[in-house]
Structure formats: C-alpha cells, structure tokens
C-alpha cells in the first residue's frame, strides 16, 4: 500500500491518495468541521464505452447502447436484500448515476460512516444478474427512457450533441433506447462488469467527518486483491465539421429553449485543467452574467435568467455551450455570434480577463464548502488524471493568451443550434 498527501497551501486544504492493496485508488479528505460524510465509488465506464477489447481476449466486444446505465440499476439488487433497503436501515441517503464516461455509486450520512461504507463496497463488488431480473429491468428502464424523451431540457442537449457529432458516441442517449436495452443479457452485463469494474479502473472518494484509518479499515475488510484488467476502447473517427447546423424539436414548452454549441478540434481524450479553465473564462467574458451581451439581451426581453454558458466535457468530447429560453432564439444566436466575433477581432481587455478570472476562481473556492461536491470533484479529478486542486491552480496560472486561444475556437461556421419550441411557436 502506498500513500501520498496532496495539499494546497493557499487554501489550507489537503487529502490522502492511497493505492490500496486491493488495487483500488482511495481518496480521503478529512473534514472534522462537518457533520457526517459523503462517499462516492466510481468506475470509468459510461455510455460512450460501447466497443472494447480486453488485453486477454482476441476480439472486440460490442455492447448495446445504454448498457452502462442498465448495469448501474442492476447492481443495487442481490439475492437477499436491495442495497437501498440496507442504506435505509442505517439512515443514509444513497444514489447512483451514469454519465457519458463514468458510473458512480454514492451515499451521504450523518453517522455510522463505516457501516455505510461497507454496504457501498459490498453491493458494488457483488453483481447478481439473472434472465428474469434483466427482463424486469428492461421494462423499468424502458419507462425511464420514455420519460426522458418527454423532457425538453434533455432533448435540447441530446439533439445538440447529435447535430455536432457524426460518429462520436456522445451523441447517443446515456440510457440507450427501448430497442437497444432489449438486447441486453446477463452474459453481456457480466462481460462489462468483469472489464470495467476491476479495482484498477475504479476510485473510492470519501470526504467529511471521517478519518483515513476508518476508510482503510473498511477497505481491508471488504475488498479482495484483484489483478489489473487492461482493455482498449474504439474511438470512432470524427470529421472536423458538424453533422448539421440546426436541429429542432416540437414539444409542450411555454418558451422556446435553445442551445448553441461549438465543435472543437480533435484533442487528447481528456482536456487539461488549464484548457478547461481558459474556455470557461472565454465563455464567461463572451456571455456570462456580467457581460454586456447578457444585460443587453435581458433588457430587450430576449432572454431570462436561465441563460448560461459552460464547457460541457467528458472523455473524448468537449462542447462549449450556451443555453437559455427566448421567444426569438434566432435573434439570440445572432447576438451571441456577433459578440464572439467582436471579441475575436478586437481582443479581450485586461479588465475583462481579470474580472472574469477572479469571479470564477471565487466560485471554485466556494465549492470547498460543500462536502457533497468535494467527493464528486475528488473522483472527477482522479478520472481526468488531475488533482482536486488542479482547477484552482490553473486559475492562477492561466493567461489572457490562453483565453484568447480558446475564444478563437468558437467558430460560427462550425457551430450547431438546437431549438425546442411549442407547436405554435
């Protein structure tokens, strides 16, 4: 077992990174000033991982869309007692989620941390799938898929990704389709589990009123040593151009919703902290709450406070995105593109750069007051090959030239516009 302390002297915060004897990476942030703790147990397996080959196998395995999300649901079941029932008995609040590039299982509790941690590690490391339970879950998740298809915000973003990407699996619905999940079998679930739920591909993060010794004691009891599993994943070739510049859906909404996204050049699978911070600043200067654009559009009644800009990233994809609601989405799009073009031509002022950097830096620092968010950020940073303090340190290191470069990537000719409007809009 190896251990190191990762510390940021400016914030006065630190956490432990431990390579446990089981092969699992364990992150512990001791925060005695909080009541209770938050734990997250995650794996690098998400909806984009639909084709892979283990190093000990000759052929690639292709699995149905939505299988990572399906597997997340199934792991809560066992031959005896559902994991949610076990957490209810300890008073903990448990949940899980699947995203494009990961699946995470979590709990929050006020006490009995070790007992809850044992439950978490136990049910995630003991899969139980049968033909009968898989068929039952297909019906349940089929209903969930239909529910999301009726959610305008979900359709808005999913359509934007489909408009931007030709082949990148980020364009697929995380839950798959009713047709794709019908192809899932216990054998396929076990194949995915044996590949991606290996300790070498997972991270356990615990933050709150807990000690490193408590966490490691549970890991020692609950986890067996596993040999690392190596695998390759196919990343489809993606053209530089967008799949389509405009996409529209008609749904029952009071105001049309819009999402403007910009396709980015091919990059490493994971964006660096510095690039991410630079793009966040560029978007904030262009369309943030303190920008002239935001106030002008608000005064004209073209947007409401839902208007926001953010960098939507994951393993293998990255989309600078501006979303909101408007009675005239096309007018907002033109105003946003005009603002970006003006900044590209005239440059970013020192004042705007300094103001935006300080504002976003302050928001990042405030995040350290949220123990729930810290556990997520610990896991996220580890999966990206960074540390919890990587973003904070990048805000101090980023330059105006970095931001100018990111701003140059927001090209109208390589953008897509997604709109969800009512039948009479």
Q: pLDDT tens digit string along 341-382?
A: 999 999 999 999 999 999 999 999 988 888 878 999 999 999
Tell me if 336 sits within 8 A of 323, measured CB to CB: no
Percent of the chain residues past pLDDT 70, beyond the cut? 100
Find the catalytic residue in 72, 280, 325, 391: 72
Tell me if 223 sits within 8 A of 24, measured CB to CB: yes
Taking the CB of residue 64, how many other CB atoms lie within 10 A of it?
17
72 is a catalytic site residue: yes
Range name among 77-86, 306-315, 393-402 with the lowest pLDDT average:
77-86
pLDDT band at 297 (very low <50, low <70, confident <90, very high): very high
Tell me if 352 sits within 8 A of 407, measured CB to CB: no
Nearest Cα to Cα of residue 304 among 345, 255, 263, 344: 255
Say yes or no to pLDDT of 170 above 60.
yes
SS3 state at 249: strand
The pairing of strands 202-208 and 231-233 is unpaired
pLDDT of residue 367: 85
CA 51/CA 59 separation, integer angstroms: 10
236's tokens: 């489809």
SS3 state at 27: strand
Q: What average pLDDT does the segment 116-128 reach?
A: 96
* DSSP single-letter state for residue 170: G
CA 83/CA 122 separation, integer angstroms: 9
Q: Where are the alpha helices (DSSP H) in 173-328?
A: 178-181, 186-196, 212-222, 273-287, 292-299
CA 416/CA 156 separation, integer angstroms: 12
Q: What average pLDDT does the segment 224-243 reach?
A: 90
Mean pLDDT of the residues in the chain: 94
Say yes or no to pLDDT of 64 above 60.
yes
Beta strands, E only, 11-169:
13-19, 25-30, 37-43, 51-54, 61-62, 93-98, 103-109
User: Hunting for tokens 């897509």 — which residue is that?
Assistant: 416
Domains along the sequence of the chain with CATH: 2-233 (3.30.830.10), 246-421 (3.30.830.10)
pTM: 0.93
Nearest Cα to Cα of residue 409 among 324, 321, 314: 321
129's tokens: 């799938």
Greater confidence, 233 or 124? 124
pLDDT band at 425 (very low <50, low <70, confident <90, very high): low
Tell me if 258 sits within 8 A of 417, measured CB to CB: yes
Q: Nearest 5°: phi and psi at 265?
A: -65, 155
pLDDT band at 383 (very low <50, low <70, confident <90, very high): very high
Say yes or no to pLDDT of 90 above 90.
yes
CA 388/CA 380 separation, integer angstroms: 8
pLDDT of residue 215: 97
CA 149/CA 143 separation, integer angstroms: 10
Q: Based on the number of CB atoms within 10 Å of its own CB, is 388 exposed (0-12), middle (13-18) or buried (19 or more)?
A: buried
Q: What average pLDDT does the segment 181-201 reach?
A: 96
pLDDT of residue 207: 96
* DSSP single-letter state for residue 241: S
Say yes or no to pLDDT of 115 above 70.
yes
pLDDT band at 282 (very low <50, low <70, confident <90, very high): very high
pLDDT band at 327 (very low <50, low <70, confident <90, very high): very high
Range name among 280-284, 312-316, 421-425 with the lowest pLDDT average:
421-425
Largest CA distance in the chain: 66
Sheet of strand 13-19, all strands in order from the earlier edge strand to the far edge:
2-8, 13-19, 25-30, 202-208, 37-43, 103-109, 93-98
SS3 state at 331: helix
CA 130/CA 141 separation, integer angstroms: 16
Q: What average pLDDT does the segment 39-44 reach?
A: 97
Nearest Cα to Cα of residue 133 among 79, 86, 96: 79
Residues 6+ apart with CB under 8 A from 132: none
């Amino acid at each position: 077992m190896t251990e190191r302390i990762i510390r940021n002297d400016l914030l006065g915060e630190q956490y432990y990174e431990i390579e446990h004897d089981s092969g699992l990476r364990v992150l512990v942030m001791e925060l005695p000033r909080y009541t209770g703790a938050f734990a997250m147990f995650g794996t690098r397996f998400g909806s984009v991982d639909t084709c892979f080959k283990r190093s000990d196998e000759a052929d690639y395995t292709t699995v149905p869309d939505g299988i990572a999300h399906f597997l997340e649901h199934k792991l809560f079941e066992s031959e005896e007692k559902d994991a949610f029932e076990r957490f209810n008995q300890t008073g903990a609040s448990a949940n899980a989620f699947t995203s494009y590039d990961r699946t995470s299982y979590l709990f929050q509790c006020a006490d009995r941390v070790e007992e809850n941690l044992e439950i978490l590690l136990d049910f995630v490391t003991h899969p139980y799938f049968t033909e009968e339970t898989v068929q039952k879950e297909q019906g349940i998740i089929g209903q969930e898929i239909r529910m999301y298809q009726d959610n305008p915000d979900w359709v808005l973003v999913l359509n934007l990704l489909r408009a931007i990407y030709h082949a990148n699996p980020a364009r697929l619905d995380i839950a798959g389709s009713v047709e794709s999940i019908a192809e899932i079998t216990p054998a396929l679930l076990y194949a995915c589990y044996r590949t991606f739920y290996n300790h070498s591909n997972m991270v356990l993060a615990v933050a709150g009123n807990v000690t490193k010794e408590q966490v490691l004691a549970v890991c020692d009891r609950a986890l067996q040593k596993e040999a690392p599993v190596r695998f390759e994943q196919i990343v489809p070739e993606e053209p530089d151009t967008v799949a389509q510049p405009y996409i529209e859906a008609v749904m029952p909404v009071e105001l049309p919703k819009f999402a403007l996204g910009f396709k980015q050049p091919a990059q490493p699978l994971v964006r660096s902290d510095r690039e991410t911070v630079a793009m966040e600043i560029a978007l904030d200067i262009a369309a943030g709450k303190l920008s002239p654009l935001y106030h002008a559009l608000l005064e004209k009644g073209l947007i409401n406070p839902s208007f926001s800009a953010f960098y939507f990233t994951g393993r293998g994809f990255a989309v600078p995105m501006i979303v909101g609601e408007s009675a005239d989405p096309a007018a907002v799009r033109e105003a946003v593109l005009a603002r970006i073009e003006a900044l590209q031509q005239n440059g970013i002022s020192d004042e705007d750069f300094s103001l935006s950097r300080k504002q976003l830096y302050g928001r990042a620092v405030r995040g350290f007051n949220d123990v729930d968010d810290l556990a997520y950020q610990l896991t996220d940073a580890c999966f990206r090959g960074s540390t919890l303090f990587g973003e904070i340190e990048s805000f101090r290191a980023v330059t105006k030239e970095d931001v100018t470069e990111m701003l140059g990537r927001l090209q109208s000719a390589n953008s897509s516009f997604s709109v969800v409007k009512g039948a009479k809009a």
